[in-house]
Amino acid sequence: MTGQPTAPRFSLLDRDHSILAFNERVMDWARRQDVPELERLRYLSIVSSNLDEFFEVRMAPQLAAAKAHETRGLYTAQTFEALSAEVHKLVAQQYAIYNDELLPALEKKGIKIVAHSERNARQRRHVREIFHNEVQPLLMPVGLDPAHPFPQVANKSLNFIVRLTGKDAFGRENEIAIVKVPRILPRFFRLPSVKGSKQIHFVSISSLIRTHLGELFPGRQVTEFSQFRVTRHSDLAVDEEEVKNLRTALRKGLQQRHYGQALRLEVSAGASTFLSDFLLEQFALPEACLYRVPGPVNLVRLNQLIDKVDAPELRFEPYLPGWPQQLTPGQSFFERLQQGDVLIHQPYESFDAVLSFLREAVEDPDVLAIKQTIYRTGAKSELMDLLREAVRRGKEVTAVVELKARFDEEANINYAERLESVGAQVVYGVVGLKTHAKMLLITRREPQGLRRYAHLSTGNYNPGTARVYTDLSYLTADESLTADVDQVFLHLASQNRLAKLNKALIAPFLLHKAMLDKVAAAGEAAARGQDARITLKMNALTDESLARALAAASQQGVKVDLIVRGACVLPAGVPGFTDNVRVRSVIGRLLEHSRVYHFRVDGDEEVWLSSADWMNRNMLRRVELAWPVTDPALRQRIVDECLNAYLHDTRDAWLLQPDGRYVPAASGRHRNHLQSAQASLMARHGGKG
């Protein structure tokens, strides 16, 4: 097998537009009448957060090509304009939902954000007190003149631009001033309710400042103003070959991240052309980068409002994960794993079992060494505390800390320093590659000699996200597989050549070619008339060679089912090219995050779990792990719960069309009578034990 099929060329879908299409699907949850109102508001804020990251990470090369009026790789002025038009359309829909659907729906349920014109006298007094006591002391208006040029404005911060009449204290007519709003200030304040009303009233920080803006400029008149927010390029770029200390270099980079290249300017919908043009000039942005919004410029901060409201009826019913069905509370993990492998389907089953596994290892005097990869663990991590405790108990602790985990760099640097301070061995993986594999390896002294136990996962060691991300944890004492994990840790620490592995596949060395070979083998089998099927579940499919390999296999007769939450560049059902390809995206209450690769050829099947999406960066620029599930019962459970359940989802699934559009699987049918994979799995596993 060559591993690289030759297929007729056809157009793949654009990755950036596919990312925006994903956000349209997320935004649909903000529209859904069967979703509680505060949760609908949260989905709207999630879309804003996603768009922020889209600009911070994806838009810089597009804008550079547009400003230079030249082609730069895949990017041109035309691709920038098309992408900008799509984002403007998405933002317009977002604020229409916010103003026309969610605010009225929340008001009906007793929650109201009160504008200045709607406040009664008592509320106006309260707003004035908040401004004078809590807000004004932290504001520092800056009048612009040759001695006070336009100030540095931090990424995604809230600011006001003000136009003034009259002269300043020195008799000068500097008409423009900037007011920065510190991040430390709350974005919403509770107001006294109207007497006899059960409504909960709030005022936003932007409305509060807007009401009292004139008081910041005594003796002058405010003639125009607008809130504004700028989004900047924030993807840290560090030349690892040049720097002597990656941790130090990243710390310096973090200080500069807040002031990277400007990419998007958001202003109030009513901002004058004079003010918006002035800001565009200051940030060197074209008109297409201006977003006029009829509401707060930062819908991400709506989360603060959601958190301030004590109304369980406006939220999802709390879900209590069950204890993993293969585990007995109180039983030793080491004893259990000697009987066979254990699968934990999170968050349907509790991630606490993973912490319990590590806790038992820390407290067991026979455990000699613990090795773990650290990618994203959350701001406060019990896992980190356990690793430090293991060091204090005399165990050998090795942590492979990925310092370049996007937007978690600072937390990971702090964790690395804390672990080093107590004597743990901390390494940062391989130069030029992110270590994205999720591995925990425990070495224990037993009567028959040293024995290894491992935890492998499709997701992060983060108790917070483990409550809302679907992932698979795999506990094993399999000698071949745990030996592979040990070899990977040795490779990451020593930088020596990776030894031949028994079972696991590792990126960037083996995984990409192995997947191409497996797809090609399925295609060859189908061409011989054998039954062949490929079912894949992942977050994104954007690697061109893998996408084209799947298309080629489908042309040979392989039935290809893809469950891809986010961006997917392979169109489904294109006549003559992907007739046998079906692509669905499931967007639900939980964030789909597990990666499962299933190949079935003539009755023989393989199931692989992995930390890797089918993206070029995962396959060729990261250290990723994939491992086979050899236990037939566990393999069938994964197929049933992670693949078949989602292929039959009719409530939360979207189907990709040949032209790149997604249509709901529930189209034309009432959602209350449809099947949800997530709801079924929550009902099956929740709250047991």
Which residues belong to the active site?
Answer: 436
Q: Which two tokens stand for residue 220?
A: 């002058």
Q: Find where tokens 């809230």 sit.
A: 158
Report the DSSP beta bridge partners of residue 507: 624
Q: Which two tokens stand for residue 309?
A: 């409201």
First vs last Cα of the chain: how many Å apart? 49
Cα 87 to Cα 67, 428, 538, 544, 598: the distances in Å are 18, 37, 25, 24, 35
Contact 10, 575 (CB under 8 A): no
Return the closest-CA partner of residue 203 out of 122, 275, 291.
Answer: 122
Helices 409-421 and 382-392 sit at what angle, rounded to 10 degrees? 20
Distance, CA of 600 to CA of 587 (rounded, Å): 26
SS3 105: helix
Report the DSSP beta bridge partners of residue 601: 532, 604
Contact 626, 504 (CB under 8 A): yes
Residues 6+ apart with CB under 8 A from 420: 426
Q: Which two tokens stand for residue 12?
A: 């793949």
The one-letter amino acid code at 42 reads R
Other beta carbons within 10 angstroms of residue 183's beta carbon come to 11
Q: How far is CA 545 from the centre of its chain?
A: 25
Handedness of CA 392, 395, 396, 401 (dihedral sign): negative
Q: How far is CA 261 from the centre of its chain?
A: 22
Cα 126 to Cα 92, 208, 553: the distances in Å are 33, 10, 67
Binding-site annotation, residues for Mg(2+): 376, 406
Binding-site annotation, residues for ATP: 50, 469, 565, 593
